[in-house]
Structure 1
Amino acid sequence: MAISIALALIAALAGCTDLRQTEPDRTANEQLLISTAADKAIAQIDFGDLREQSVFLETEYLESYDKPYVIGTFRARIAQQGGYLAADRKKAEYIVEIRSGALSINRELFYIGVGGFEVPIPLSEAVELPLATLYEDFDRTAIAKFAAVTLAAEDGRMIQSVGPVYGLAWMDEDSVLGIGWDTSNTLPKALQDNPRPAE
């Protein structure tokens, strides 16, 4: 009987935990993973042949998560390499069509622990025994895949085909007996080294 009461108290205490981890619908980590993967992929594309040429970026064939960010990054890449971005397709010398094959996150969770299952109690409802992990490894990897083709605006003749290019961003979180640490390639080292502000 004492064991049953103890289990019920543990379950009741676990039920007081606030599971909400972020105020927006998406976490900053998710946004950083996706945008970093996109950055790393697009940075591999060479638009140097379009230097001092007027370019219209065609996004009709781009289906992608965080589409505005991807489009902005492509525009920045063209401009950084000397291309002139045209607002009107009819006034451009070249058309760059972009497309995405992937931009999402794979998640993998491995843990060693106890609990996380129901314990039957005689003459009462079963009690959910909360999960207590001894070791936990939570890995997230964002994968981006992009390609682009440059066409002559006058007749649609293909000038250049680029890609596919790939970008990876990762974030690994580990914990042992509740003591955790994480590693990632989503933040500059200067930010990673910054201590958390004192509360």
Structure 2
Amino acid sequence: MALAQTSFLSGDPRTNRRRVRQSFTLSLVMVLVTIAVTGCASTKTSNTARTATEQLLISSAIDRAMSNVRFDEFANYKVFIDEKYLDSVDKGYLVGSLRHNVLQSGGQLVATADVADVVIEPRSGGVGTDTQESYLGIPSLGIPGMPIELPEVKFVSRDTQMGTAKLGLVCYDPKSGKALGLGGETTALTHNNDTYLLGMGPFRSGSVLDQREKAVGFNGVGGSFMSNPAHIAKSKPVMMVNKPAGMPSLDVPFNAAPQIATLPEGITTNR
């Protein structure tokens, strides 16, 4: 019994060294396998040359300017829109909105002026955006006689981007060339505010935020963590054709798709 115990004890160091070598070999193999299978992935993102906020500011200003025009006066008239004197940013949207309003009022669009009852001649007095930056804090200060400048400190700052649309409209009879009314100009403004408090933000407000919330239920760009959660809504369906009475209609329910992605359970959106 004593001999067996002595033999076991004398063989224990060799067993330990063997186990250490096995553990080291196994660890080395695992490290090599990890290096071999480990990879990296990167996601490439890009942005359009013009931000969506800028485009929304301009399109919203155009919509607001159009809302100040009496398009119902073109009902039952053949209308030609002459855009040769129109030169502006987002000209396509401006002309398309003008055509839409004429059609919505009951007017009929024609392709040439010689068959029209009325020619509408739009012009741009200014369609674009401006940026204004303001802050409350301490400006950067230079120390006299020393190449040192103390950085500025902003307690509260606000970046405001404004959209402007000034449109001119005149109508005339294509046969006589005489004006059918005084015409005039219509101007509208939009704005988007990004406010920062001690470096926290942005806290958003303005026309773009209101439009996004009206469309999808929240601002669509994440908002700030200190604002109240908003309900995620669906956009109102766009009715394209009003069918005359007596025409068959498809009794298929319309299910509008959500205007934003479905969020994971337990996560809410904040404005």
Report if TM-score (shorter chain) is over 0.5: yes
Give the equivalent residue in structure 1 for 2:87. Answer: 63
| Cα RMSD after superposing both structures | 2.9
Out of 153, 170, 179, the residue aligned to residue 191 of structure 2 is 170
After TM superposition, give the deviation of residue 172 of structure 1 in Å.
Answer: 0.9
Does residue 151 of structure 1 match 2:172? yes
After TM superposition, give the deviation of residue 25 of structure 1 in Å.
Answer: 0.6
Does residue 182 of structure 1 match 2:208? no
Number of residue pairs the alignment of both structures matches:
175
Q: How does 1:74-153 map to 2 (within 5 A)?
A: 74-112=98-136, 133-153=154-174
> TM-score scaled by structure 1?
0.76
Structure 2 CA distance for aligned equivalents of residues 44 and 79 of structure 1: 16
After TM superposition, give the deviation of residue 141 of structure 1 in Å.
Answer: 1.4
After TM superposition, give the deviation of residue 110 of structure 1 in Å.
Answer: 0.9
SS in 2 for 1:147: strand
SS in 1 for 2:68: coil
Q: CA-to-partner distance for each residue in 1:18-58, whole Å, 9 max, x for gaps?
A: xxx96111100000001100110011111222211110001
Return closer, same or farther for 1:161/1:22 CA change in 2, 3 Å cut-off. Answer: farther
Return closer, same or farther for 1:84/1:37 CA change in 2, 3 Å cut-off. Answer: same
Of Structure 1 and Structure 2, which has the larger fraction of its residues in strand? 1
Structure 1 CA distance for aligned equivalents of residues 118 and 193 of structure 2: 42
Are the aligned partners of 1:45 and 1:162 in contact in 2 as well (CA < 8 Å)? no
Q: How does 1:45-56 map to 2 (within 5 A)?
A: 45-56=69-80
After TM superposition, give the deviation of residue 143 of structure 1 in Å.
Answer: 1.3
Larger radius of gyration: 2
Letter in 2 for 1:193: F
Higher relative contact order (CA 8 A, sep 6+): 1
SS in 1 for 2:47: coil
Letter in 2 for 1:160: G
Return closer, same or farther for 1:129/1:70 CA change in 2, 3 Å cut-off. Answer: farther
> TM-score scaled by structure 2?
0.57
Does residue 193 of structure 1 match 2:218? yes
Structure 2 CA distance for aligned equivalents of residues 59 and 109 of structure 1: 36
Letter in 2 for 1:40: R
SS in 1 for 2:48: coil
Give the equivalent residue in structure 2 for 1:5. Answer: none
In the alignment, structure 1 segments of 5+ residues that lack a partner are 1-20
Q: Identity percentage over the alignment?
A: 28
Give the equivalent residue in structure 2 for 1:38. Answer: 62
After TM superposition, give the deviation of residue 128 of structure 1 in Å.
Answer: 9.2
Structure 2 CA distance for aligned equivalents of residues 161 and 105 of structure 1: 29
Are the aligned partners of 2:212 and 2:219 in contact in 1 as well (CA < 8 Å)? no
SS in 2 for 1:161: coil
Structure 1 CA distance for aligned equivalents of residues 139 and 166 of structure 2: 40
Return closer, same or farther for 1:41/1:194 CA change in 2, 3 Å cut-off. Answer: closer
In the alignment, structure 2 segments of 5+ residues that lack a partner are 1-44, 223-260, 265-271
